[in-house]
Every structure is written in C-alpha cells, then in structure tokens.
Amino acid sequence: MKYFSCLCRKGLFAGILTLLAPASQSLEYTESRRTCISHNVLRQPFFGDLHVHTRYSLDASTQGTRTTPSQAYGFARGEVLGIQPWTDDGKPLRRVQIPRPLDFAMVADHAELFGEVHICNTLGVEGHDSWECILYRHWPQGAYYLFNFMSSMHAAHLSLCGEQDRVCKSASAVPWLDLQLAAEAYYDRTENCSFTTFVGYEWTGMDADTGGNLHRNVIFRNAEVPVLPITFIDKSDVESLWRELDTQCTEKEGTCDALAIPHNSNLSAGVMFPENKSISVDYARLRHRYEPLLEIMQKGGASECYFKAGISQDELCAFEQRPIDNLAGFNNPPGPDTGFARRILLSGMAVEARLGSNPYQLGFIGSTDTHLGTSGAVEEWNFLGHGGKGVPATDRIPAGLPDLLINNPGGLAVVWAEENSRDALFDALRRRETYATSGTRIVSRFFAGWHFPDNLCALPDRLERAYTDGVPMGGDLPPARQRQPTFLLLARQDPGTKTYPGTPLQRIQIIKGWLSEAGEFREKVLDVVSSASPALSADSATCEAPAVGASELCVVWRDSQFDPNERSYYYSRVLEMPTCRWSQRICLERGVDCNIPETVGKGLEACCSDDHRRVIQERAWSSPIWYRPTLQVKQTAG
C-alpha cells in the first residue's frame, strides 16, 4: 500500500510528459497518453458529472448504496447498474441506465469518514466490533447523524479511531486507493478519448453556528495525488485546505495540480462566500487561484439567484429554490445574501475594487450529487431518487414518489475543450470556459468583444472571429475607451433520444451585474433573442408541451448602457420551452387527481401539495465574462 501511494505521489503512476504534442500549442499533457483523434482548436462541448457518491460516502452507505467507484464510472459510460433495495441474497430490486453516456465524470466521496465507513463494513479489521460500528450496522440512521455530527460540525473522528486517529487514518487508505484505481481503469487513454475520469473527493464541513454548507469537491489534474485526502478534520477552514494543497500537491516536484469547486451554495447560509472587510489580499488571491468555479445546480436545487415576490423581480430565480438556507435543518428561509451566485459575483467585484484581487471570479458548472452512484442520471422522465437524505429505499421500493419534492435529478457540467483528455478538460475548468445545465444537454456558447459585426451569426467563420476578436465565457474583456461591448450568443437544443426527443429553445437572456461608481450593487435581465412567447407553458394535466420553439438561436447584442467606469459581469441564460417536472410525471402516471382523494395513493400526497412545482423550464447558465475599468479609463472617460 505504501509503495503504491509513493508511486502516485512521485508521478510514476501518472506517467511522464508525452512527446506527441497535440494540435493546439497551448495544450501540454502531464501524463502518458495517446493524442486524441478528435481535436478541435475551436473547442468542443463535453458533458459530465463531477459530484458522484458511492458506497464510501457515509450518507450513501447508510441508505443502502452498494455502488463501487468502478460501477459508477461504468454507469456513466452507459452500463446498467443495480441499486437498492436488495434481496437477502444481494440482488438489486431496481436497475437503471442512462440513455446517453457522459464524456467525463468524477467520484467525489466524502473523505472525512473513509476510514470509519470502511472499518464498519469490513469484517475482521480493527474497530469493526466497536459500539459505533454496531450502531452503524443496526441503526444506520442514528449512525448517520452521530458520525456526521462529529466529522462535519466538530472536525473530529470517532473514538473507534484510537489514539491520534491512527486506526481510521490507516483504514482510509483503502477507499482512497480504490477511487484512484477505478479512475485509472476507466480513463480512456487511447486515441478515441471516449471517456475521461478524474481523481477527487469531497471536503465536507459545516458551519456549527449557522448550519451552513462549506463543502468543496477537490479535483486533481491527473493521477498524481496526495497520499491521503486532505479532509475537513485535517484542515477545518478552507484557507488551510488551499495551503495544504500547495504543500502536498502544487508545490511538490512533479505534475500534481488541483482545484476546489464549492458545492452548490444555496444551503450555505451565507458563510461559504464571506463579504466582510476582513478578507485579506492573500486570501483573495489564494481563493482566486484554487476556486475558479461554482457548482450552481445539483440535486438540492439551484443557486443562481434569489426570488421572493415583492423583493426581487426575476421570477425565473424561483427555479428549484429551497425553502431553507442551511444543511442542519434550521428553519431559516433563504435571502439575497445567503449563497446566491449573482450576489457572490457582485461581492467579489466589491472586494476587487478594495484589494485589487477578486476572490469570487467564478465560472459555473452543474452536477448531480447523486448518492446512488448514478452519475449523469438527470432525466426528468426516469428519476429514481438520489438516496442519501431523500426518500429511503433501503428495505423496499418507495410506495410513492422516489424522493422529496425539494430534490431534483440534478445538473450537468459542460466544458469547452479541444479534446476529451484530463489536461484539456482541467485547463478549461481553470480558465472557466464552462457552463452549467439543469440536466438538459443544451449546447451554449457566449463570447464578448469590442468589434463583433452585427451580422456575425451569419458568417461561416463566426467562431474563429469570436476567439480572435473577443473572449469566451469565463474570460475577461480587455479595457477599451468610448466603445460598447458586443456579445455573441449561440445555443442549440438538446437533441434528446429517439424515444425522448429534446425540447426546443424558447429564448436566450443576458444577465448583467455591475458595481456603480458609488459602490452600489445593480443587476439587469434582458431577453436578447426568442422564438416563442414566455407565456406559453406545458399542460400540467397532460404534460403536453406547446409545439413551438427553436432548434437553434443566435444573436449579436450590444450593451448600449455600458459605462466604462463601472465594474461589470455578463452571463447568458438559455431557456427551453416549459415541460413537466419529474414529480408531476410520476403523479400523472400513478393516476393522481387531486380533486378525487381516493386517487392519491400512499406516498403520493405531495402531488397535491401547495409546494408542488408541476412545470419547470430547463436551462443552461454560461460562465460570466467580466469587465473591469483601468485607472486610465476612470480618468479620461466622459
């Protein structure tokens, strides 16, 4: 075990630099692999899931999940997976398969309790007969709360771990090695480049005062990784995590590199992205380097923006909004400053105006956060729940809805990269050329520049011009005087499958946020191109959708209200025509008629709840593009 970990750390397992350079001079491999046949300097969209839990996560294992990391990767590639509940002889009572394989995935199990979960599930190892493990095996729900209380809120191991936590730290090497081996086994190093895996894990902490979510998914560039994960128990503040990644990874000899992706922040109670003036320059710079992305959508909802009637105007912000703002279950409703991306982006620009560095210059991704190992299972028409803290299926198939109304199938991460290799995808994540979807496979592009012609959509070389004369999503607009920035927005509908065709596009919007010269936060939502009236919706009684919408949309938009003295960001939001939500589909399939009480079977009571959102509008959010004024602009403009 020690010998293998040493190989991983020193880089032999990761490989050496390849002598075969790819077509793009900016892409260099940090591992031994063949050059991808499909390589495009204008970049391609790759769909994936960077937030997948398997049997090594406490909350998954205590809900009956037996999926291994290898099985999760196999599922992402299109293989059939059996899931709980199980028969007495270990056969699954449910099976699931995604209709379209993913391009990439990462198993990100909660690393804090790797040792405890392995010990409690492995006969004969030290600690297996401890009272905590007896509790785990005979009362999993009780163990879930106890184990999490100690690890996530108090950054401590259990007593079974022994002096200086020796027993659990040693045991945690087994799951960590399995994650590495599975990622290596399923990574396609051939020239086909059909599937990419990343080694990673979830750093799992909670703010003890507010119950706010502090989780991060740590992703490594290649197979060269630390000997053990750096956990919340090891380093219980995020700045220490980044510095320890420096020590154990990025500053060591070799090719180890890492990023930390903050978990969907809608349950962070505002503590994941502090706005206070105690933020230092070093903190801002370190966070800018390690956390270029935010997971804006997963099974627990969306964190784009806050909506409440009478307070905010963008009704589309109500999409998958949770009723509380924290993980601990405290009955605190969300607010504009409790973890929503738009406020975070504006806060980052305010910090930059003060310190010269933006800690929250964040691109967007989505993922599932599945606790069944079902990476990429995001279809509304085939949702079986996520396990974890949802509706349990440990002993029997749920009689009604397979999950809580507040949960959803999850989102996807989309990366614009030259090819489907670890280095190409990782580079794209770092430069934020990414976008999030709510589960749909919309193709979305977003560029900004100072010289885009009005007819750019019609030009055959529009992408070449967009890259040459502008910047893509995730980028920074260079400073300019006496000009208005122009934006190229393109979208193509999810093609779907033969059985379940994709949904046409309704419109594309631009969201602009800016910091006034007086330091006030401002935002605006603009429809820049549409194909159908926003008033049209799916019929929730039949789930029939309007026969309108576009397969493709493209527009060049100019910001006529641009002020070169104001810091600003822009991102696009692509909207499909409305369709039925997963819960409404099941309610209709089960024959529920809320006017006839006898049709509301056991477990289907939520179908008639006032909180039931029957129709949704799937969407894609591009990473923002930023503009910042220079001192010269401030002195001379106007």
CA distances from 495 to 26, 58, 257, 534 (A): 31, 37, 35, 22
Handedness of CA 218, 223, 229, 235 (dihedral sign): negative
Q: Which H or E element spans position 635?
A: helix 631-636
Whether pTM > 0.85 for this model: the answer is yes
Q: Which CATH superfamily is domain 2-376+411-437 in?
A: Metal-dependent hydrolases (3.20.20.140)
- The predicted-structure confidence for 331-358, as pLDDT tens digits, reads as follows 999 999 999 999 999 999 999 999 999 9
What is the pLDDT averaged over residues 156-163? 96
User: Could you report the per-residue pLDDT of 415-451, keeping only the tens digit for each?
Assistant: 999 999 999 999 999 999 999 999 999 999 999 999 9
User: Does domain 443-578+617-636 correspond to CATH entry 2.60.40?
Assistant: no
Where helices occur in 356-494 by DSSP H, the ranges are 422-431, 462-469
CA distances from 398 to 68, 300, 301, 378, 393 (A): 23, 19, 22, 19, 6
pLDDT in tens, 252-272: 999 999 999 999 999 999 999
Region 582-605 average pLDDT: 96
Q: Where are the domains of the chain?
A: 2-376+411-437, 443-578+617-636
> In this structure, what token pair is assigned to residue 56?
């090594």
pLDDT band at 481; cut points 50, 70, 90 = low
- Of residues 28 and 557, more confidently modeled: 557
363-366 vs 293-298, strand pairing mode: parallel
Identical fold at 2-376+411-437 and 443-578+617-636?
Answer: no
pLDDT band at 323 (very low <50, low <70, confident <90, very high): very high
Q: What percentage of the chain has pLDDT greater than the value 90?
A: 89
The one-letter amino acid at 470: G
Q: Give the tokens for residue 577.
A: 């025509």
